[in-house]
Amino acid sequence: MAIAITKENFKSVVLESSEPVLVDFWAAWCRPCQMLGPIVESLSEEVKGLAVVGKVNVDEQAELANQFRIMSIPTVLVFKGGKVVNSIIGVRSKDELRKALGV
């Protein structure tokens, strides 16, 4: 299961993670996000133990969306050592996302 990321757990789950973290910014009303959702879920199972996969609901977590200047969804950010190292806008295959995660 992808972890639901909020501003409360963002620091511990994303910034302080020793593994790379993939974060999917999404919303329920966004059609392409609905298609990316299952791909991200499946990825989270596949990379268990290697990387962390999380989701930010931009409706509920406007502060996080603002902080990372999200203006188009779905946007996927990859964090390593607390820093954004990759960003992808739009729906991508699981392989492509895994490549961006580098695991």
Partner 1 sequence: MFDTIIIGKGPSGISAAIYLKRSNKNVLVIGKDNGSLYDGVVIDNYYGFPGGITGTELIERGVKQANELGIDVLQDEVIAIDKYEHFTVTTKKGVYEGKTVLLATGKPRTTLKIKGFQKYRGKGISFCVTCDGFFFRKKKLALIGYNEYMLHELKDMEFLTEDIQIFTNGNALTVDVDYPVVHEQITEITGDEDKATTIVTTNGSYDVEGIFIALGSPGAVEFATRIGAIVENTNIVVDDNFMTNIEGLYAAGDTVGGVLQVAKAAADGMHAAIAIKKQLKK
Using CB under 8 A as the criterion, which residues of the chain lie in contact with partner 1 when the complex forms?
A: 27, 29-36, 39, 58-59, 65, 69-73, 75, 89-93, 96
* Minimum distance of partner 1 from residue 27's CB (angstroms): 7
Is 33 part of the annotated catalytic residue set?
yes
Task: Report d(CA 75, CA 73) in Å as an integer.
Answer: 5
Indicate which residue of 33, 39, 56, 65 is catalytic. 33
The number of angstroms, rounded, from the C-alpha of 34 to the middle of its chain's C-alpha atoms is 14
Residue 55 φ/ψ, nearest 5 degrees: -130, 140
The reply to whether 30 belongs to the active site is yes
Active site residues: 30, 33
